[in-house]
Amino acid sequence: MTATTPALPPQAVREARRRFLRSALFGSLAVGAALAGWLPIARRQALHLRPPGALAEDEFLASCIKCGQCVQVCPVEAIVLGDLGEGFGLGVPHIDGRAQACDFSCDAVQCVLACPTGALSHTLNKKEEVRMGLARLDKPDACLARQGLGFKGPARGAAFPGLHRYEEVDRWKPIPLADHPYEVELCDLCVRECPIKDAITLEPIGDDPADKRRTPVVHQPCVGCGMCEMICPTEPAAIVVDARAQWRAA
Amino acid sequence: MSLLQSLAVMFGREPTKPPASAYSEAAACLHEAKRANRRSAEERAEVNRQIHERHKVHTWRNRRWLTLLAVNLLFVVSFKFDVQLVEGALTASRVIGFHMADLNSTLQVTLAFKTILINLIIGSMTVLLMWLLLGGRSFCSWTCPYHLLAEMAEALHLKLAAKGLVNDHPLLRGTRTVLWLVFAVLAFATGYTVFETISPTGIVSRALIYGPGVALVVVAVLLVLEVVYTRRLWCRYLCPIGLTYGLVGAVSPLRIAYRPQACHHEGACRKICLVPHVLDCTKKGFAVDVHQGIGADCTRCGLCVDACPTGALKFEVKGLDRLL
C-alpha cells in the first residue's frame, strides 16, 4: 500500500457498506434476541418455586451462573433448569412441587452447598430455615380430610414417578411414591409426609366431637418445600405452595 | 508482531503490511533472498510433497476433536453415573471438588449481581491461569461444544460454496468487540446475565448434561445462518466469550509459531483458518521476524499446522526451546 491511499473502486465501497449493514443487523439481532429474555420476566404471572435458600427473585436471576450443580446433587432430582421460555431464567433452577417436591432427603440442603455463587444463600444451615414459599389449601372442597374421607393406595397412582424418602422405609434412600401405598381412615397424607415439624396440622372443622372431618392448617414453620402438594391424592392437588409467599399472622 | 498490534487486530482492525522499520534484520534478509530466488510452481510442489508426504493430515484436528469430546463427555458421564469428577456445566463446575468458573459467565454474573463472590474468584482465577498457560482461545477450539457444531456447519458451507450454492457474507470483525461491551453494559445496567440467554456455549453444554430443550433453537438458527449465509458467523464475528479468552491468550506461552524460512506463501493456512487475520504474517514479505507468534485471536486449533505443507507453522511453548 502506498502512502496516499487510492480511492476505492465503487464495488469495494458498496461491499464495505453492505458489510457494515450486515454487522449492524446481526449485532442488533444478537442483542435483541438476548434482551427478549426480559419479556417472560416482565410478563410473569406466577413465580417459580426456587430451590432452598434462593435469594430474592431478581438477585437470584442475577447471581445464578446457570451451571446446574444444584440439579446434580439433589437426591430426589427435584430441581430442573429453566428453558428458553423463561427468558433470563434460562438455565436457572426451579422446582415443580407437584411433579417432584423437595423433601429434604439430603438433610443438609445439598443444593445450597453445591451452589458456587451463593444464589442459593450459603447463610442457610438447616431445612427449618428455608423459605421457598407457603402451603395454602387451594381447593378446600376437594380435600379428602375435609370430607371425612380416608385414602387407600399409592398417593398419586401406580405410574407416578415422584420420589420421597420415607424415614420408616430407608433413612437414606428415597423410593417412588408408587411403591408406598397408604391405607388411612382419614386422609392425612400432607401432614404425615411433611418434612418440617409443626408446619401443618389437621384441625377439627366443627365443635361436634363425633364429626370426623378435619381441615389442614398451615403454620408459621412451613418452608414451602412442596411435599404436601406432591403427596396430595386429589387431582388437581387440594393443597398447593405459593412460591415466595411470606408468612403473615392471620 | 507487538502485543498491542495483536490486540488491535483482535478487536477488529484489519491487518496491514508492516512498515519497513518493523522488520528485523534477519527477516529483511530472508525476504530479500526469497525475492531473489523465486521457486517455480513445480519446485514448490516438490518441496510440499517431500515435507508433507500424505495428501491430507489431520493430526491436530483429530487430537482436538478427541479432547473436546472427552471434556464434554466427562461432564455428561459424571452426572449420568454420579462419578462426581466434573460436576456442573461449562459455565461453572467443580473438577474433583475444585471450583472452575467460565470467565465470561463470571463477568456477566459479577456485573449483574454487583458483588464479588469468593467462589467465583477462586473458580475464575483457576480457569484464567489454566487458559493463560494453554493459550486463551484454545478454550474455543479445544473445549467449547458449539465450536465443534460450527466446524461441521462450516464444512457444509464450504461444500455448498464450492458448488456455487451459497456465498460467504463477511461481517466487520469489530462487531464482536462492540457486542462484548454491549453485553457487559447490559449485565450491569439491567441486573440480569443477558448474554447467557443466547450463549450457545452454555446452551449446548447444558443440553448435553441435563437434556435437550427449546433453547437449542438458538443454536439451530446460528448453525443454519452459518451454513447458508456467513461462514463461522458466531465464532468469527460475534461471540464475546471468544474475545474474553482472546485477551487471556494474548500473552500465552502456548502458541502457534511461524517461521517464514520454508514457507511458500501459498496461503493454504489462511483458507482453512477461523481467524485468518492472525495469519496475515504468512503473506509474502509480511513476516517481521524469522520466528514469531501469530497473534492473540488464534484459537490454537492446529488446522494451519495440519495444512501447512512446509512445516512453517508449528505449535510451540514460548521459550521452551531455550530452556531445553
Pairwise CB contact (< 8 Å): A26 & B230: yes
- Which whole-number Å values give the CA distances from A246 to A197, A222, A223, in the listed order? 18, 10, 9
Residue A14's Cβ-count burial label (10 Å; 0-12, 13-18, 19+) is exposed
Distance set, CA B158 to CA B98, B152, B256 (Å): 41, 10, 24
Q: Which three cell numbers mark A45?
A: 404471572
A13 occurs within a structural domain:
no
Whether residues A65 and B91 touch (CB distance < 8 A) is answered with yes
Q: Crossing angle for the helix pair B200-210 and B59-80, nearest 10 degrees?
A: 50
Interval B85-132: pLDDT, tens: 899 999 999 999 899 999 999 999 999 999 999 999 999 999 999 999
B253 grid coordinates: 506461552
**B residues 116-175 lying closer than 8 A (beta carbon) to A:** 117, 119-120, 123, 169-172, 174-175
Put simply, the answer to whether A68 touches B88 (Cβ < 8 Å) is yes
Q: Which chain B residue has its CA at the smallest distance from A88's CA?
A: B197
pLDDT (tens digit, 9 = 90+) per residue, B247-290? 999 999 999 999 999 999 999 999 999 999 999 999 999 999 99
> For residue B51, is pLDDT > 80?
no
* B55 pLDDT higher than 60: no
Would you state the cell numbers that stand for residue B300, as one nine-digit string?
Answer: 490454537
Q: Is A148 left (phi over 0), alpha (psi -120 to 50) or beta?
A: left
Contact B94 A116 (CB under 8 A): yes
Looking at A21-25, B49-53, B268-272, B278-282, which range is the least confident one? B49-53
User: Of all helices (H) and strands (E), which one includes residue B88?
Assistant: strand B86-89
Cβ atoms of residues B204 and B223 within 8 Å = no
3-state secondary structure labels for all residues of B12-24: CCCCCCCCHHHCC
Mean pLDDT of A27-46: 93
Q: Cβ separation of A23 and B218 shorter than 8 Å?
A: no
- What pLDDT digit, counting tens, does each position of A53-105 carry? 999 999 999 999 999 999 999 999 999 999 999 999 999 999 999 999 999 98
Higher per-residue confidence, A244 vs A9: A244
Tell me if B195 and A34 make a contact (CB, 8 A cut-off): yes
Best probe of the A interface among B127, B177, B198, B224, by most A CBs < 10 A, is: B198
| Contact residues, A window 94-133, toward B, CB-based 8 Å cutoff | 114, 116-118
Determine contact, residues A231/A200, Cβ cutoff 8 Å: no
Contact B140, B299 (CB under 8 A): yes
Q: What percent of chain A has pLDDT over 70?
A: 97
Residue A27 lies in a domain: no
Q: Which B residues, 218 through 257, put their C-beta within 8 Å of a C-beta on chain A?
A: 218, 230, 233, 237-238
Q: What is the largest CA-CA distance in chain B?
A: 65
Q: Which residue has the cell 464450504?
A: B158
* Helices B3-11, B240-249: inter-axial angle, 10-degree rounding: 170
Q: Which helix (H) or strand (E) holds B93?
A: strand B92-95
Residues of A in contact with B175 (CB under 8 A): 23, 26-27
Considering only CB atoms, B119 lies closest to which of A19, A66, A117, namely: A117
Paired with A182 in beta bridges are: A153
Nearest C-alpha in B relative to A121: B117
Tell if the CB–CB gap between B109 and A72 is shorter than 8 Å.
Answer: no
pLDDT of residue A8: 80
Report if residue A11 sits inside a domain.
no
- Helix residue ranges per DSSP H, chain B: 3-11, 25-36, 41-51, 59-80, 103-113, 118-134, 138-142, 145-162, 174-190, 200-210, 216-228, 240-249, 268-272, 303-307, 320-323
How many inter-chain contacts (A to B, CB under 8 Å) are there?
160
Does the pTM of the predicted model rise above 0.80? yes
Distance from CA of A134 to the nearest CA of B (A): 26
Sequence-distant contacts of B12-15: CB under 8 A, at least 24 apart: B12/B172, B12/B173, B12/B174, B12/B175, B12/B176, B12/B177, B13/B174, B14/B173, B14/B277, B15/B277, B15/B280
Position B43 confidence tier, pLDDT thresholds 50, 70, 90: confident
ipTM: 0.93
Alpha carbon of B101: minimum distance to chain A alpha carbons (Å) = 9
Residue in B114, B209, B213 nearest the CB of A84: B213
Could A91 and B92 be called an inter-chain contact, meaning their C-beta atoms sit closer than 8 Å? Answer: no
Distance in angstroms (rounded) separating the CA atoms of residues A234 and A142: 7
Whole-number pLDDT of residue B120: 94
* A81 interaction partners in chain B (CB closer than 8 Å): 206, 210, 213
CA pair distance B44, B37, nearest whole angstrom: 12
Contacting residues for B5 by C-beta, under 8 A, at least 6 apart:
none
Q: Let me know: does A25 contact A19? Beta carbons within 8 Å.
A: no
- Cell reading at B133: 498457560
A41 in reach of chain B (CB within 8 A): yes
Q: Does A71 touch chain B (CB under 8 A)?
A: yes
CA distances B165 to A19, A72, B155, B158, Å, are: 20, 45, 14, 10
Q: What is the pLDDT of residue B290?
A: 95
Rounded mean pLDDT, B226-240: 98
What are the distances in angstroms from CA B18 to CA B8, B14, B15, B27? 14, 12, 9, 12
Assigned domain for A21 exists: no
pLDDT at position A3: 56
Name the residue among B87, B186, B237 with its Cβ closest to that of A72: B87
Contact B57, B189 (CB under 8 A): no
Mean pLDDT, rounded, for A115-136: 92
Q: Is B107 an 8 Å CB contact of chain A? A: no
pLDDT computed for residue A249 by the predictor? 67
Q: Which of B120, B197, B233 sits opposite A88 (nearest CB)?
A: B197
Chain B residues whose beta carbon lies within 8 Å of the beta carbon of residue A80: 210
Contacts for A55 with CB less than 8 Å, ≥ 6 apart: A63, A118, A119, A120, A121
What's the domain count of chain A? Answer: 1
Q: Tell me if B175 and A26 make a contact (CB, 8 A cut-off).
A: yes
User: Could you tell me the residue range of the domain that residue A187 belongs to?
Assistant: 47-243
Scanning B258-317 for CB atoms below 8 A from A yields none
How many residues are listed for chain B in this entry? Answer: 324
- Under 8 Å between Cβ of A91 and B102: no
Q: Which of B89, B215, B237 sits opposite A67 (nearest CB)?
A: B89
Closest CA in chain A for residue B100: A116
Please judge whether A116 and B217 are an interchain contact, meaning their C-beta atoms are less than 8 angstroms apart. Answer: no
pLDDT at A1: 45
Burial class (CB in 10 A: 0-12, 13-18, 19+), B263: buried
Chain A nearest C-alpha distance from B161 (Å): 19
Give the pLDDT mean for B21-38.
92
Query: Which pLDDT band, with edges at 50, 70 and 90, does A9 fall under?
Result: confident
Q: Which residues of B25-54 are buried (b: 16+ CB within 10 A; e: fewer)?
A: eebbebbeebeeeeeeeeebeeebeeebee
Question: Could B210 and A71 be called an inter-chain contact, meaning their C-beta atoms sit closer than 8 Å?
Answer: yes
In chain B, % of residues over pLDDT 70: 98
Contact: B198, A88; criterion CB under 8 Å: no
Residue A14 lies in a domain: no
SS3 A218: strand
For residue B164, pLDDT beyond 50? yes
CA dist A107 and A92 (Å) reads 23
B322 min Cα distance to partner chain A (Å): 37
Amino acid identity, position B72: N
pLDDT of residue A217: 97
DSSP label at residue B276: G
Flag whether A34 is in a domain. no
Asked if A22's CB is within 8 angstroms of B186's CB, the reply is no
The DSSP annotation for A82-135 comes to: --GGGGGGTT-EEE-TTTS----TTSS-HHHHH-SSSSB-TT--SGGG--SEEE
Phi, psi at residue B255, to the nearest 5°? -155, 170
Indicate the average pLDDT of chain B.
94
**Does residue A145 lie within any of the structural domains?**
yes
Count other C-beta atoms under 10 Å from residue A168's C-beta.
6
In a domain, A113, yes or no: yes
Look-up: residue for cell 370430607? A147
